[in-house]
Structure 1
Amino acid sequence: MKNKRKTGAMITVCLFLMMILAGCSGNSDKTADTDKSKQGAARTITDLVGNTVTLPAAAELKNVVIIAPPLLSTYISNIKNTDNIVGTSVVALNEMNPILLDIFVPNNKEINTTFLTGYESNTEELLKLDPDIILVYGETQKKGLQNIPVPVVDFFIKNQINEDWSVKIDQLMREIFELDNNDSLQQEWETANQKVDQILTDIDNQKQKGLMIMSNTGDKITVRGAGSYGDDWLLKSGLTNVAAELNGDGLEVTMEQILSWNPDIIYIFRGLPATQYLSGSIAGQDWSQTQAFKDGRIFNTPIGIMNWGTPCADSPLMIQWLVSKNFPEKMSSEDFSKTLKAFYERRYQIKLTDDMVQSILNPNNGN
C-alpha cells in the first residue's frame, strides 16, 4: 500500500515538473519571438545610383554616419533629433548657421568628424563608431567602404537640378527611416513654385544677367557654369547665367572675363563676403565696373539649416529668396521674412526671432 502511494506521489511530482518545464519552454519561445519582432525583418531599398541595399528596421539604425554634408540637413528635417548621429563631415556643421547649430544639433561637439580626410574615410576609425548605416554621395565618398559589414546608401544623382535632388534625398531619407510622406519636401516645393511661377509670368521678357560665384579667395575666382546647381538657381529664378558659356561648376575665371559679362546681379556661394566686393577692398579685383556693384546687388547666399547655395532641406526657401532679390517689386523683403519664419516653424518647430532671420539672410559666407 505504501509502495502504491509512493508511486502515485512520484507520478504527480513528475507531471508537475513536466508542466513547469513546458511552461518555461513556452515562455522561452515567446521571448525569442518578441526579440525577433523587436529586430524586425530585413528589408531592401534602392539608393539613388540604383544599388539594392539591405537594411534592418529603422528602429535598429541607432548609430548613423553622414558623410555628404547636405544629407545632415535632410536628416534633421525628418528625424528632428541628432542623438543617433555618431559621425559626419565637418563641412556639414560649418555650413550650418552658427546661431542655429546648437538648436539643430545640440550634440555637435560630441559628433566625430576626424574619421574623414576631406570626404574619404579612415575605415578603421570609422568602424570604431560602430555605425549601423553610412550615407554618402558618389564614388569618392565610398572609398574604403566597399568591404565593410555596414550598409552604405549612395545619394548621388547625375543631373544638377536643385528641386529634383533635394526632393529625392528627402524621399529616400524617409524610406530609410520608415517615415510617412505627410509633410514631404515635395509639398513645400509645390507651394514655392506656385509663388515663383506667378511672379515670373508677370515680368518682362528682357531678362537680367546673373552670376553665381562658387568661391573667391582673393587670389582665385571660380564660378558656376552651365549645368551646375548654381546655373539651375539662376535660370529658375528668372535670370540668364552669364557664365553659361562655360560648362560645369567651380570653374576658374579672370576679372576681365567677369567685366566683359557685366552681370546685373551677383550671388556669392563661398569665399570672401559681399561686403568686401561692395567696399572695393579685394586687392586686384575691381568690381565697381559691374552693373551689380553700381546697383548694390551683390549678395551672399543665406545660411540656415545649411548654405542655401547647396540643395538641402531649405531649398524651397532659396528659390523664393532669389526671386525676392531679382524682383523686389514683386516680393518684398518683409514678405519673404514672413515666409521664412512660417517655414521654420512648420518644418522645424522653431520660432525665428528677427535677429535669427537677419543672421540667416545676411551671413558672412567666409567658409
Structure 2
Amino acid sequence: MRFIPPSSLATAVLLLALSPGPARAAESGAAEIRTTDLAGNAIVLPKPAERIVALPAPSAPTVIAADRSADRLVGMHQTVGEVAKGGLLGRLFPRLNRLPASLLSAGKSAFMPNVEAIAALEPDLVLQRGELGPQIVSPLAEAGLKTALVVYGDEETTRRNIRLMADLTGHPERAEALIGWRDEVLARIRRPDGTAGKKPTVLFLSRLAGHLVVTGQNTPTDFAIAAAGGRNLAAERSGSITVTAEQIMIWDPEVILLNSADRDLQPADIRNDPLLSGTAAAKAGRVYKVPVGAFRWEPPNAENPLFWLWLAKLFHPVANGYDLRAEVRRGIGLVYGGEPTDAEIDRLLLADVNRGALNYDRIVGP
C-alpha cells in the first residue's frame, strides 16, 4: 500500500474502505456465524466479521489473537495504537500503526462512541463495553451499526470474551488453544499442597488524577495475584479503590506492583516517597513495574498467562524454576504466531526499570 500523507479523517477512512486487506477475499463462501455476546444478545453474521471496530482496548489484541492477524480490524481504541507504536505488537502487525484510533467522543462519558467516525469506516461489526450502561451502546444501534458487547470482570468472563472473538472471526478452535494454554499455566503455578511457601501480601497500585488507586476482587489482577500464590490486601472490596498513603502504610504490603499503563508511576517513586518508602515492600526491594508484552498483561486479554508466570516467579522464585524468557517467547508465539527477539524480551520485561529489585536479575535471566 502506498504512503498516505496526513489528511482529513474522511480521506483516510475512504482509503481504508477501498483497501480491506486479504481477510475479506478469503471469506467468500464462509459459514454463517451465530453466537451470543457477553450481555446475552444473539449475534448473527452472514460470515465471519471482516471489518471490525474494537472500542474497548483489550478487544483489539484479542481479535488479533483469535485470528492471528490484524487484517479484520479497521478501528480501535487509541491505547492499542500507543502500545503498538514502536513496540512488539506494531512490529508483528504493522497494520495497527495505520488504523484510526480516535473513535470516542472527547468530553463525554467514558467510551461514548463517535458514531459518525465509526460509521465512515463501514464496519460490519462494532465491539463495545457492555457493563457501562446503555448510553454508550444505543447510539451505535440507532445508527444501524451491528454491535457485540464485551464485559470486563473475572477470569471466567475473560474466557467468554476470548470465545466470543474466536466465534466472530470464524476460528472457534483458537479459543480452545488459548484457553488450553491458560489452564496449562494455572496448573503449573498453583500449588494447593502449599509447597510454594507463605503467600506474600500484595497491592496493585495506580495513580489516577493525583490519587492512589488499588485493585480489589473480581478483577483480572486480583485473580492473577491469587493464582500466582499471593494475597491481595485490597480483596475485601471490588474493582478500583481510591486509598491514601496512610492506608497503604497500615496494610504494609510485602510486594507492590505498579500499573503498566501509568507511565508516571515508577519504582523510584515508591522508594523515595516519605511514607511509602517505609512499607515492607520498599524496604525489601520488592516494588516492581508490570511489564508490557505485545499488549498490556493486566487487562483481560489472551496474554494474561504471561502475567501469571511473571508474578509466580516474583512471589516464589525457588518453587517456579521455569525459564521466564522461554515462557515469554513461547506464549507470544502461541497467541500471535510470531516470536519476540531477545532484545524485545529485555525491553518488555523492563529489565532496566526493575533493575535492583529483589531477585529481578535472576528472574528475567541473562
Range class of TM-score, shorter chain: 0.7 to 0.9
Number of the residue aligned with 1:129:
121
Contact in 2 for aligned 1:49/1:155 (Cα 8 Å): yes
Number of the residue aligned with 1:244:
235
Q: Which of 168, 171, 181 is 2:173 aligned to?
A: 181
State TM-score, norm by structure 1: 0.79
Number of the residue aligned with 1:16:
none
TM-superposed deviation, 1:49: 1.3
TM-superposed deviation, 1:279: 4.5
Contact in 2 for aligned 1:55/1:151 (Cα 8 Å): no
Structure with the greater alpha carbon radius of gyration? 1
User: Match of 1:184, SS?
Assistant: helix
Number of the residue aligned with 1:359:
347
- Do the aligned partners of residues 318 and 180 (structure 1) sit closer, same or farther apart at CA in structure 2, a change above 3 Å counting? same
TM-superposed deviation, 1:119: 1.6
Contact in 2 for aligned 1:40/1:57 (Cα 8 Å): yes
Number of the residue aligned with 1:20:
none
Structure 2, gaps ≥5 residues long? 1-26, 355-366
User: Match of 1:223, SS?
Assistant: strand
Number of the residue aligned with 2:12:
none
- Do the aligned partners of residues 187 and 41 (structure 1) sit closer, same or farther apart at CA in structure 2, a change above 3 Å counting? closer
Number of the residue aligned with 2:312:
323
> Residue type matched to 2:241 in 1?
L
Q: 1:264 and 2:254 equivalent?
A: yes
> Residue type matched to 2:222 in 1?
D
Q: More helix per residue: 1 or 2?
A: 1
Q: Which of 97, 105, 108 is 1:109 aligned to?
A: 97
Q: 1:161 and 2:154 equivalent?
A: yes
Alignment of 1:188-227 (within 5 A): 188-198=181-191, 201-204=194-197, 206-213=198-205, 215-216=206-207, 219-227=210-218
Aligned length in residues: 317
Provide the rounded CA distance (Å) in 2 between the counterparts of 1:326 and 1:97. 31
**1:316-341: CA deviation from partner (whole Å, max 9, x where unpaired):** 11111111111112225x71111111
Number of the residue aligned with 2:22:
none
Provide the rounded CA distance (Å) in 1 between the counterparts of 2:285 and 2:113. 43
Q: Which of 87, 99, 103 is 2:75 aligned to?
A: 87
TM-superposed deviation, 1:88: 0.8
With 300-309 and 195-204 compared, the bigger mean Cα shift is at 195-204
TM-superposed deviation, 1:40: 5.8
Q: Which of 145, 148, 152 is 2:143 aligned to?
A: 148
Provide the rounded CA distance (Å) in 2 between the counterparts of 1:229 and 1:156. 12
User: Match of 1:243, SS?
Assistant: coil
Deviation above 6 Å: which 4+ runs of structure 1? none
Number of the residue aligned with 1:48:
38
TM-superposed deviation, 1:200: 6.7
Provide the rounded CA distance (Å) in 1 between the counterparts of 2:313 and 2:337. 24
Number of the residue aligned with 1:172:
164
Structure 1, gaps ≥5 residues long? 1-36
Q: 1:233 and 2:224 equivalent?
A: yes
